[in-house]
Amino acid sequence: MQTNFLNTDTICAIATPHGMGAIATVRVSGAKAFPIVATLFQHRGKFLEISEIVSHKAFHGHLINKGELLDEVLVTFFKAPHSFTGEDSAEISVHGSVFVQQKLLQVLIANGCRMADAGEFTRRAFVNGKFDLAQAEAIADLISSESEASHRVAINQLRGGFSKELQVLRSKLLEMTSLMELELDFSEEDVEFADRSQLKALLQEALDKVNRLKDSFRLGNAIKNGVPVAIVGQTNTGKSTLLNALLGEDRAIVSDIAGTTRDTIEETLNVNGILFRFIDTAGLRETEETIEKIGIERSYRKIAEATVVIGMLDATKDAENVLLAAHEILKRIDLEHQQLILCINKVDTLDDQGEALLGQLRADLDNDEIMVICLSAKHKFGLNDLYNTLKHSQPLSYPDVTLVTNVRHYEALLHASDSLGQVQQGLEMNIPTDLVSQDLREAIHYLGTITGEITTDEVLGSIFSRFCVGK
């Protein structure tokens, strides 16, 4: 039960960004929200009676504290349960002076409110059944979304797309357990209620779904925090020049000395609505130099973690060398989960702008999944081709499916997938039904933690404390 979260205090907080602004909004929520606000608020020259309050209507008037005018304001009231929190609530829009905002909070507190904890409004909404935990978390994501893609993912989760998928899954699994447990009750009589082959099919379906969601985390997380794009290649191929060209600023040091970049440099950039995290890395070469070696180790790690890898090739080198370098990079890529874009850089030095080399490389690789483009990072030639290739790269072309973006959800899915795997093994090996159904219950439990059907104070505390005060 979550009754220990039902807090009857009336809470208040500033809901708009801190500091000075044209307008600031202070939120008040709880059983005493209306009486507290009414004692401070004059509408048409007299203090508002609670009976005059109309829900979802803005009242114009004045905030009066101990006979003194504090500000001219708009107050909107929301009657329970038709408010964000599900409680009686009011939103007071004041002029955005920091003094007025702070003073209003002080006055509210003096009249019986308490400062809200971080995320307490959303937490109350969750406790009052306004939405489930995954949706509450989507609100935090929505607020912090910086790109069109992350916004789209958060909106889908907020509208309950993810929760619905989980619900369907959970109820299917519950149905399976009840069938199995019925069988247990009659075990003396050696009855098989659950058709084993039907169970197996259902289980496979559930496992596929859980695994799809689990696997979507790689992309979901990338979209939320910026799709990692590692720029890799031999020294002096122009990786840092490319990073600077993409960002439009001299972020990384560029020089003709091989081994200029020692450490990785990361910067995010919004390209056509998708947030990318470009990572310039230390050039790959044999070296005995300790620091450079560490840098190169890091480059390999960044390749492994990247969703997209830009492999930089140097057009001033002979074709054989370029092909060899391309294969060195390709060796490190998992084409099933990663996109490789090979860039033949410095084509400004070639008469044919790299056309011959491009043909040779494509023929040699003979793989449509690998994109190859010509570039001059220094002269900013071919950047549009790169942007387009990035935008349409395979790992990013997801249809409107649910993407998991939250580590907590990902971990729960991982556990659920493990448990379902155990069930599957158990069914294959004809392990007694009671043991199998225990694993099934475990999987159901983990799925339930995502939407908050099963939760603990500790989990809720850690989720909502990440929200800001006023949310």
Ligand X SMILES: Nc1nc2c(ncn2[C@@H]2O[C@H](COP(=O)(O)OP(=O)(O)OP(=O)(O)O)[C@@H](O)[C@H]2O)c(=O)[nH]1
Residues that bind ligand X (CB under 6 A): 235-241, 254-256, 258-261, 283, 345-346, 348-349, 376-379
CA distance 363 to 368: 10
Q: Which does 366 bind (CB under 5 to 8 A by kind): ligand X, Mg ion, none?
A: none
CB of 358 to ligand X, least distance (A): 15
Q: Whose Cβ is closer to ligand X: residue 20's or residue 253's?
A: 253
Q: Whose Cβ is closer to ligand X: residue 132's or residue 292's?
A: 292
Q: Which does 378 bind (CB under 5 to 8 A by kind): ligand X, Mg ion, none?
A: ligand X
Residue closest to 194 by CA, chosen among 181, 205, 203, 185: 181
CB of 254 to ligand X, least distance (A): 4
Q: Which does 147 bind (CB under 5 to 8 A by kind): Mg ion, ligand X, none?
A: none
Q: Whose Cβ is closer to Mg ion: residue 223's or residue 252's?
A: 252
Query: Is residue 281 near Mg ion by the rule CB under 5 A?
Result: no
Q: Which does 377 bind (CB under 5 to 8 A by kind): ligand X, Mg ion, none?
A: ligand X
For residue 286, give the DSSP letter: -
Enumerate the H helices of 251-368 as residue ranges. Answer: 290-305, 319-330, 355-365
C-beta separation of 248 from 299 below 8 A:
no
Pairing of strands 41-43, 23-29: unpaired
Q: Whose Cβ is closer to ligand X: residue 42's or residue 260's?
A: 260
CB of 313 to Mg ion, least distance (A): 15
3 state DSSP class of 345: strand
Q: Which does 451 bind (CB under 5 to 8 A by kind): Mg ion, ligand X, none?
A: none
CB of 222 to ligand X, least distance (A): 24
Site string for Mg ion, 249-268 (x = CB under 5 A): -----------xx-------
Q: Whose Cβ is closer to ligand X: residue 263's or residue 369's?
A: 263
- 172 vs 133, 415, 459, CA distance in Å? 21, 18, 26
Alpha-carbon Rg for the chain, nearest whole angstrom, is 29
Return the ∠ at Cα 181 (arms to 178 and 184), rounded to 5°.
160
Q: Whose Cβ is closer to ligand X: residue 133's or residue 329's?
A: 329
- Sheet containing strand 68-78, edge to edge, reads 46-47, 41-43, 57-65, 68-78, 89-95, 23-29, 11-14, 114-115
Return the ∠ at Cα 380 (arms to 379 and 385), rounded to 5°.
140
Q: Whose Cβ is closer to ligand X: residue 240's or residue 449's?
A: 240
Q: Using CB atoms, what's the residue nearest to ligand X?
A: 283
Q: Which does 177 bind (CB under 5 to 8 A by kind): ligand X, Mg ion, none?
A: none
Q: Which does 349 bind (CB under 5 to 8 A by kind): ligand X, Mg ion, none?
A: ligand X
85, 89, 240, 449: residue in contact with Mg ion (rule CB under 5 A): 240
Residue closest to 139 by CA, chosen among 127, 157, 152: 157
CB of 101 to Mg ion, least distance (A): 47
Tokens of 424: 């599957």
CB of 302 to Mg ion, least distance (A): 13
Pairing of strands 68-78, 89-95: antiparallel
CA distance 136 to 379: 47
CB of 284 to ligand X, least distance (A): 8
Q: Which does 238 bind (CB under 5 to 8 A by kind): Mg ion, ligand X, none?
A: ligand X
Query: Amino acid identity of 211?
Result: N
Query: Amino acid identity of 159?
Result: R
Q: Which does 89 bind (CB under 5 to 8 A by kind): Mg ion, ligand X, none?
A: none
- Residue carrying structure tokens 């069988």: 183
CA distance 250 to 294: 24
CB of 364 to ligand X, least distance (A): 22
* Total binding residues toward Mg ion, as defined by CB under 5 A: 4
Residues that bind Mg ion (CB under 5 A): 239-240, 260-261
